[in-house]
Chains A and B, each alone.
Chain A
């Protein structure tokens, strides 16, 4: 009886959370005359489903360009983030400087500064650098969101690695730097992968900077391209819109789920004093 109630509650929660997407998945295969008839059941097909609108998304819109832009911006931002955050996290987690405590707290606070506070001044800076209307402006600005949170996560993962490992490496003749590169980074690899996923998801989700800095269609990313280019004035390409949303939502959620437990470990370990 208790188990039955638990299952019922779990299924109800899943339906409430995934509901909009489940309905999107039905909508994206509907024929126009089925879609715009209020007497038709919105949860089923009448007449039979069609893949035309999904195909339209790939052949007649800039969707693939948006996806490609999101991927390469995300990829570059992740690389920049790791290059900056990995050494910083090591310094904070391991090198036992007196300033490590407040520096870590400051970095956490910076993570909480939202784009909505900075987008106007950053847009002036982007104009001053001549990067307006270019996807490169996002490559420049996104690390400001990903570096702080990645430092925090990586700090957690690095603290979990036993100190003996690098001490042994140093006894074996490596310098501190050598020990970091040869023993600590390989051991932190699972954590680094988790940070890659987290940072990428953050960049893919960002909206305000992308909307404020970039307006040409060919330079847009998924999160701004879909809601601005697939809605033209009063014309909504509903089925294609829903397909565009689902096709991004599902892969991100799948990968994110694989790493969820690691994110939780990283965040909670980051808060624990070494």
Chain B
């Protein structure tokens, strides 16, 4: 070992660990913890862009939210979009994962094309969709017209129900590759021997499926579902670029409504009180992810 003189700070592991950890901790405290506390405080204030002085407003912002039909619409849409997207993302993600784990020629090209929706900045892929769902020149409409299913146009981003369908479709499209990657990672982590052993013991396809494969992959699928849910629940980019919430707020979600009130409208306090509604479900989803990951470690 080295001489005593060199066993200074650089060797004292406890001190070194803190020294290594501290910059990140301070950064996160200053720019995540403080803003989070501030976000809660703003929700109970009367801060606007024009009058940034902080005055306590109690529950006034929340009372205004509860009287506002747009808020309820945004809240309902947020849950609806999240629930439907999550379900579809998991189903398609599992199918996609099963295809991508197979071995075939030209796989790198398929993988590249399949991952495009996830790796492309959302704002830019939403621009591609904006054109794909155009009220006059949509090629989807063109094909449907050719087949003879419709006459004229469907107005994907103008008619309230179709607007919601479009927003959900874009979410499912952009997050399915992520779900597939998560499920793939989980499939690889499951030891082959377990299924082999079950097969040796004479378990049939369905028994293996329900007593081995599904219980073992369930935590991974849960993680994929929860990531999909968080990313849909908190996103405003898709709605903002595609519909700006819609003329009658028919596709408004909490995040986009918070932005419109807080930044475009300049009512920071009101916006903060809307965004705060994202937090409870977010926390629940985060805890659920941790639990699912723990379960994976046990198996």
Contacts and interface: CB of A to CB of B under 8 A. Distances in A.
Interface of A: 3, 6-7, 9-11, 13-21, 23-24, 27, 35-36, 38, 41-43, 83-85, 87-88, 90-92, 95-97, 100, 103, 105, 107-110, 112-125, 127, 140-141, 143-144, 147-148, 151, 171, 173, 175-178, 201, 204-208, 211-212, 222-224, 226-227, 236, 238, 241-242, 244-246, 248-250, 252-254, 256-257, 260, 264, 267-268, 271-273
Nearest to B102: A6
A244 B119 contact: no
Given A6-B102, A13-B99, A227-B241, A124 B115 contact: no
A201 to B, nearest CB: 6
Interface of B is mostly: helix
Contacts of B115: 17, 253, 256-257, 260
A103 B24 CA distance: 11
Nearest to B1: A171
Given A13-B96, A91-B17, A144-B32, A123 B263 contact: yes
B24 A85 contact: yes
Contacts of B276: 117
Contacts, number: 294
B interface residue count range (under 10 / 10 to 19 / 20 to 34 / 35 or more): 35 or more
Nearest to A249: B120
A208 B259 contact: yes
Given A88-B23, A120-B268, A248-B120, A271 B296 contact: yes
Contacts of B136: 38
Contacts of A24: 128, 131
Contact of A27 (B110, B116, B126, B131): B131
Interface of B: 1-2, 6-8, 10-11, 13-14, 16-21, 23-25, 27-28, 31-32, 34-36, 38-39, 42, 47, 52, 96, 99, 102, 104, 107-117, 119-129, 131-132, 136-137, 139, 142, 173, 176-177, 181, 184-185, 188-189, 230, 234-237, 240-241, 254-255, 258-259, 262-263, 268, 271-272, 275-276, 278-279, 282, 285-286, 289-290, 293, 296-297
A97 B14 CA distance: 7
Contact of A252 (B21, B39, B120, B255): B120
B64 to A, nearest CB: 16
A209 B290 CA distance: 27
B185 A268 contact: yes
A117 to B, nearest CB: 5
Nearest to A88: B24
6 contacts: A14-B114, A17-B173, A38-B137, A42-B139, A147-B27, A212-B259
Given A88-B20, A97-B14, A256-B115, A242 B27 contact: no
